[in-house]
Chain A
Amino acid sequence: GNSVTQMEGPVTLSEEAFLTINCTYTATGYPSLFWYVQYPGEGLQLLLKATKADDKGSNKGFEATYRKETTSFHLEKGSVQVSDSAVYFCALSPHPNSHTGANSKLTFGKGITLSVRP
């Protein structure tokens, strides 16, 4: 079945440091890949996504590239801010269903907590 593996956390960085959060996946076919962010006490927000190999998703200074050869989707940011402190989840969704055109369930990694110090 499908699975997503994220690096162990938590991660603590100083403001303006470089961030990398590793994510690798196992899936059949060509899934779509996502990063979601969860701020304390809130639901998940879509941060970025990529739907095919070599696509780069980007948003709010975060980037991730869909690497099929290494089955990875690592999240990076060049200079983190205190406001980036949150839990980050990597997820995948299988190729759209040929009948409904919609994807089915998202498979999530365990999430990693990022804390950024001023």
Chain B
Amino acid sequence: NAGVMQNPRHLVRRRGQEARLRCSPMKGHSHVYWYRQLPEEGLKFMVYLQKENIIDESGMPKERFSAEFPKEGPSILRIQQVVRGDSAAYFCASSPPVGGGSTDTQYFGPGTRLTVL
């Protein structure tokens, strides 16, 4: 069973460009979470999605950031008009649906390291 997959692993963008980060959850998982890790800091929650629904986006910046988890395909975290302060590691995690296992446990992908020049 493949784990959580994220791509790209490394992404370099210039200021003002768009960054698109992809996350494919573990097989059978229907809950996806995005976290951001700034240098020398812990992970901060950004958004929690289920298929086609945003459940909790309390950690998302109000502007330039958006997330989706369509019925088909991976979850996407999009950052428009990137700035240097967006440079960070972005981690995706997934957990199973109700009745599908330990719903309190999140499994993490390897992360995407975004560098904004």
Contact = CB atoms under 8 A, between A and B. Distances in A.
Contacts of B42: 89, 108-111
Interface stretch (A13-21, A44-52, A70-78): A44-52
A93 B105 CA distance: 9
Contact of B33 (A100, A105, A110, A111): A105
Interface residues of B, number: 31
A51 B105 CA distance: 10
Contacts of A46: 105-107
Contact of B104 (A43, A45, A93): A93
Given A43-B111, A44-B108, A101-B98, A107 B91 contact: no
Contacts of A104: 48, 55-56
A43 B35 CA distance: 11
B41 interface: yes
Contacts of A49: 104-105
Nearest to A89: B42
Contacts of A42: 110-111
Contacts, number: 70
A45 B104 CA distance: 14
B99 A101 contact: yes
Given A32-B104, A43-B91, A96-B104, A106 B45 contact: yes
Interface in B14-57: 31, 33, 35, 41-45, 48, 50, 55-56
Interface of A: 32, 34, 36, 42-46, 49, 51, 89, 93, 96, 100-111
B95 interface: yes
A13 B48 CA distance: 37
Contacts of B50: 100
Contacts of A89: 42-43
Contact of A102 (B4, B91, B97, B110): B97
A5 B103 CA distance: 24
Interface in B66-117: 91, 93, 95, 97-99, 103-111
B31 to A, nearest CB: 5
